[in-house]
Structure 1
Amino acid sequence: MIKRLIIAVILLGIVVGGIVWFKFFRDEMIAQFLGGMVPPPVAVNAEPVQPVTWEPGIDAIGTSLSRQGVDLAIESGGLIRAVQFAANDKVTEGQMMILIDDDSEKAQLGSAEAALKVARAEESRARTLSDRGVGAATTLESAEAQVESAAAQVAIAQTALDRKTLKAPFAGVIGIPRVEVGQYVSAGEIYATLQDLSRMRVDFSVPEQQLAVLKMGGAVTVTSEVGDFSATGTITGIEPRVDPNTRMVSVRAEVENLSGGLVPGQFLRVRITLPKEEGVIAVPQTAVSSSLYGDTIYVIQDGETAEEQKVEQVFVKLGRRAGGRIEVTEGIKAGDLIVTSGQNRLTSGARVRVDNSVDLMPKAETQAE
């Protein structure tokens, strides 16, 4: 019995030992196999770093305003006889817009002119008597004063009559009429808006840090979100103070609007053009990878063959952005070959194969750029 037990224990030990030995042997073979495997090179897009001419600028959001734009108001109340314009008519300076009933004012003007005529006749007689030495000087002075008073009354009556005829103060485009013929209106009531659309003002704000680079006459470009409107202009005004609440500086520019594609109140994107800079290192924004540790770019190292090219992950310091490119102030130099897309599968030291015939940029990212 004991002999059988000993034989069973020996056989069990042999089986267990064989299993353990096979496990270690298998793991060692797998490690050797995997250790000898070289992963295939990763296909990437790449381009050499080259100094470029940088066109810096300041981007802002603006609102369009007409260079001349007013709400036309009634100067004197009364009954409207005629409305001599239609919505969106182009009017000229001095063109009559509205005629208000002026019969009473015409009568008052006629009465004042008649009184002036009588006063001048009295002055003439007083002057004749004074020249003959038979009239008192005070009589002539009183007659002259009566002429001046009558002339003033004529001017007052003429002014009241003129207020019944409303004319365009400048050339532009008239808006929708807000009054009708036969309507009784009061003084101060707005009857339409008049906007000169030939040139437009654009009001916008920039951070106080940019105040030093702003200058009168500086070039600006404005674009609208609708209508594909684009125009260039110049800065015509810079507020001489910083808003203490927003730390922004108000700026005004003027642009041509000969096509009439821009109207007051529109949302605009504004870019202030600054002097060009030569020799700036700028790379596609897709070449930069950002993480908690900083911004990095993969630089391709030279190899004996195309299949032996490797990448090195380099930390960089970034600067300004413009369009789809970003300035790099430290980390890379002109002539370096950098990965512009496909780096999401890379690690430092990985082998790469440059293939610019295929766009490796994700579709959504391409559209966003």
Structure 2
Amino acid sequence: MSTVLKYVIAVCLVAAFVAAGVLGTEALVSWSEDSSEQESGRQATRVGIAMPEMRTIEDDVSAVGTLRPVRAVQIVPDVAGRVTEVPVSSGQQVSEGDLLIQLDDRAERAAVAEAEATLSEAEQEYRRFERLEETNAAAEARLEEARAAFLRAEAVLMRAQAALEDRAVNAPFGGTLGVIDTEKGTFLNGSETVTRLSDLSMIEVSVTLPERYFERVTPGQTLEIRTPAFPDETFEGRVTLRAPEIDLGTRSFEIRAEVDNSDGLLVGGMFANSRLVLGSSEGMAIPDDAIISEGLATYVYTVTDGTAARTDIEVGTSLGPLTEVRDGLDMDSRVVIAGWDQLSDGAPVEIDEDVAREGLE
């Protein structure tokens, strides 16, 4: 091949490569421009937003406890005897002094009658000697003997009356009776429990708390309780006692609170979920619908100048449909509560009030 032919082929190849490069560059520029046009024409996502709210944040601690009446006693007759009357029934409301159990008291009533007669005779004798002393007709010794006999008779009567009273078992205070299985004719030995009497007008709840809360608990603080028996009811009471020391075994301490029970719903032995309010402060809160959790990350989308921004936050106490936010937002933040599942950081957004209302429903 001649030198001239080789030269012509080389020139043709160079020209071909140059042409290919120009075409490729134009194609890249054209693709880049098309991509930019598509990106600039990206459709905005319709979202609903909400503003943070200031709410009262309560610092509280939860614990489980047991309910018991503030006053309750076992009803046990002081003496042995046969039952002659049971004028009350299980679960009955009674007043202070009401008769609960009557024992056979015939011997005791006879003893009282005899003691009253003896006392009357002794008193007459004593008064007679008093009158004789005024006329100096009676010796001092005889008068003292009569006085002593009178006092002894008075004491015998008092013992007989006490024995008679012991045959009747009365309510020491007003309250609600427990189960009564005692029937007329039953013989009681003086140590058997007949029933239990509880004053349910006020209920006491006892709970234990970890040692770290010891200095923060004081009488008068509010304690709320809920029970499985009434899951939709919340009962409120006041702390009346904080134990003066920490239990060495459990490193905890007991507190007690009294809960008004004038409606009679609560009874002793009930299980109680308790919440003790230790204090309160003002804090910022946002709807739960705005909060996104992924692993250890918690964040929301905020809107600024029509653009969504992923914003990490630190959450605090749950407030029903709201949650406290301790860090990451301010009161002017516009938080996405609906439509965030279609967002990414930097995405264009369009705020729609209808979407916001749907998100909060």
TM over 0.5: yes
**Change in CA separation of 1:168 and 1:208 when aligned onto 2, cut-off 3 Å:** same
**Change in CA separation of 1:79 and 1:42 when aligned onto 2, cut-off 3 Å:** farther
* 1:147 equivalenced with 2:150 (yes/no): yes
Gaps of 5+ in 1: 1-28, 362-369
**Correspondence for 2:197:** 194
TM-score normalised by structure 1 residue count: 0.73
**Correspondence for 1:51:** 54
* 1:330 equivalenced with 2:333 (yes/no): no
**Correspondence for 2:186:** 183
**Change in CA separation of 1:313 and 1:213 when aligned onto 2, cut-off 3 Å:** same
Distance 1:323 1:58 in 2: 16
**Change in CA separation of 1:111 and 1:234 when aligned onto 2, cut-off 3 Å:** same
Matches within 5 A, 1:71-90: 71-90=74-93
2:83–2:101 CA contact under 8 A, matched in 1: yes
Matches within 5 A, 1:42-191: 47-191=50-194
**Correspondence for 2:299:** 297
Distance 2:256 2:95 in 1: 27
Letter in 2 for 1:300: T
Shift >6 Å, 4+ stretches: 37-45, 341-347, 350-354
Distance 1:324 1:71 in 2: 48
1:176–1:192 CA contact under 8 A, matched in 2: yes
Distance 1:330 1:244 in 2: 39
Distance 1:338 1:211 in 2: 39
Farther off after superposition, 158-167 or 316-325 = 316-325
Which structure would you say has the larger Rg? Answer: 2
1:60–1:204 CA contact under 8 A, matched in 2: yes
- Residue by residue over 1:320-364, the C-alpha shift from the partner in whole angstroms, topping out at 9 and shown as x without a partner, is 444354433223222223455787887756677775466699xxx
**Correspondence for 1:236:** 240
**Correspondence for 1:18:** none
Distance 1:116 1:201 in 2: 49
**Correspondence for 2:310:** 312
Distance 2:247 2:309 in 1: 49
**Correspondence for 1:3:** none
Q: Which of 265, 270, 275 is equivalent to 1:266?
A: 270
Gaps of 5+ in 2: 1-27
RMSD, aligned α-carbons: 3.4
Farther off after superposition, 60-69 or 80-89 = 60-69
2:337–2:356 CA contact under 8 A, matched in 1: no
Following TM superposition, by how much is the alpha carbon of 1:246 offset from its aligned partner in structure 2, in angstroms? Answer: 3.0
Following TM superposition, by how much is the alpha carbon of 1:70 offset from its aligned partner in structure 2, in angstroms? Answer: 1.9
1:217–1:234 CA contact under 8 A, matched in 2: yes
Following TM superposition, by how much is the alpha carbon of 1:134 offset from its aligned partner in structure 2, in angstroms? Answer: 4.5
SS at match of 1:193: strand
TM-score normalised by structure 2 residue count: 0.75
2:337–2:359 CA contact under 8 A, matched in 1: no
* 1:253 equivalenced with 2:251 (yes/no): no
- Residue by residue over 1:80-111, the C-alpha shift from the partner in whole angstroms, topping out at 9 and shown as x without a partner, is 00100122222121111111001111122222
Following TM superposition, by how much is the alpha carbon of 1:156 offset from its aligned partner in structure 2, in angstroms? Answer: 0.9
Letter in 2 for 1:234: R
Distance 2:270 2:83 in 1: 33
1:90–1:171 CA contact under 8 A, matched in 2: yes
Distance 2:327 2:359 in 1: 27
1:64–1:202 CA contact under 8 A, matched in 2: yes
1:282–1:325 CA contact under 8 A, matched in 2: yes
Q: Which of 217, 228, 237 is equivalent to 1:225?
A: 228
- Residue by residue over 1:103-151, the C-alpha shift from the partner in whole angstroms, topping out at 9 and shown as x without a partner, is 1111222222233223223323443444443443233223222222221
1:79–1:100 CA contact under 8 A, matched in 2: yes
**Change in CA separation of 1:268 and 1:87 when aligned onto 2, cut-off 3 Å:** same
Letter in 2 for 1:298: V
**Change in CA separation of 1:288 and 1:238 when aligned onto 2, cut-off 3 Å:** farther
**Change in CA separation of 1:351 and 1:360 when aligned onto 2, cut-off 3 Å:** farther
**Change in CA separation of 1:353 and 1:119 when aligned onto 2, cut-off 3 Å:** same
Distance 1:69 1:60 in 2: 24
Distance 2:340 2:360 in 1: 10
**Correspondence for 1:23:** none
Number of residue-to-residue matches in the alignment: 322
2:57–2:317 CA contact under 8 A, matched in 1: no
SS at match of 2:194: strand
Distance 1:127 1:74 in 2: 43
Letter in 1 for 2:149: Q
